[in-house]
Structure formats: structure tokens, C-alpha cells
Chains A and B, each alone.
Chain A
């Protein structure tokens, strides 16, 4: 059974760096054909994809946020970490991590419950 769970601070100040951890079980991120992504949902807005890491350690970032994002994995701990620098109130959102395998595309078939992040001084 695949499960994912996000963890991290619920409140960060503007200009600070956000670090979120996705702890997963039921699969290994050391094999090709598997990946984990980060997606966020700002209040009243649409889903926004942020970053993705493949089992072979290849990484992809949203072009609009690429300069602020970093994604990494620790296969021994079954974790994926997302860092976002220079946080701003517009980054207030619920942040999700999600699992994907290649099956007609790298769609996200399992999601974490999400973790809310508020950016405020």
C-alpha cells in the first residue's frame, strides 16, 4: 500500500526558506519508472505543479519558480525534501507530495493529505 505524508512548518516569515519533507512507504524511489512530485493549492486558486524527482535522480522544476526551488531524495529514509527560498505571502498554500509511475504518462496516482503553509510576518 502506497502512502505519502507531508511535514514542515505551518507558518513562515517573508524572505525565509521553507523546507518540506515528504515521507512515503510502499515503494522505492531508487528504481527508474517511479517519481515523486510536489504540487500546491493556494486559497481560491488552481493546482500548481512545483517540482519532480525521478528514481534515477533526474529533477524537473516549474519554470516560474525554478530559481527558488530545490528537490532532493533520501532513499534510505524514504523521503523527498523540497526547499523554497525567499518565501512571500503569495506562497501561502496547501502543499502536497504525490507518487507517480510511468503508465501512459507520469500522472500522480497517490497523494499525501497535504500540509498548509502560511507566509506572514
Chain B
């Protein structure tokens, strides 16, 4: 089974900071990776799919890159509404839809 790890697990940042979160897969998954944002008490929202495609309506300060086993989510200039937990998800191999352990971005 494919395992996902995320680093860091917790990130303290300030408004305006550039933030990078890394997701690593235990096996190559091509570009079958998505990123989600979840705020407390809310459903997750899709940010990025196919590793680097921005979901419609998502601000352009969010970007994704990577292929194979290493992927990154970058927020170019952190905004107050971006403080949340971020999850990666692999969509390549069974068990499909595996999520990473999450990265909490806090002040």
C-alpha cells in the first residue's frame, strides 16, 4: 500500500510569509496527487489536483508542484484566512484516496 508523509506536521507562520508544505509518497504516483485545506468545523476544500492544477476559484497564491514521490504545496503570501490544516491525497494506486497525516498552519 502507498503511504503518504507530510512535513512539517505543524508550521508557525505570519501573514505575508511564503509557506511550503511537502508531501512524500512511498511509491511513485506520477502526478496523481491532490491538496485540500480544512478549517475547524468545516468540510475540506480542494485546492490543487493533478499535482499542479489549481481548482477553479482557488486564489493564485496557492500552487503545487512535483511528480513521482515528492510534491510541494506553496502559499506565496500567507493570508489570515489561510490558517488551517492542509492534507495531500494520492489517487494513483489502491487503496485509492489515501490522505496524508496533515500539516497545521498556525500563527
Residues of chain A having any CB pair with chain B under 8 Å? 37, 39, 41, 46-49, 52, 60-63, 96, 103-109, 111-114
How many residue pairs at the A-B interface have CB separations less than 8 Å? 73
Interface range for B? 20 to 34
Residues of B within 8 A of A52 (CB): 96-97
Q: Is B50 positioned at the interface, with any CB of A under 8 Å from its CB?
A: yes
CA distance A49 to B31 in the complex (A): 19
Do the beta carbons of B97 and A104 come within 8 Å of each other? no
Residues of chain B having any CB pair with chain A under 8 Å? 1, 31-34, 36, 38, 43-46, 49-51, 53, 55, 87, 89, 91-92, 94-102
- Nearest residue, chain B, Cβ from A47: B99
CA distance A69 to B50 in the complex (A): 28
Do the beta carbons of B96 and A106 come within 8 Å of each other? yes
- Nearest residue, chain A, Cβ from B53: A104
- Nearest residue, chain B, Cβ from A4: B43
B97 CB contact (under 8 Å) in A37, A111, A114 = A37
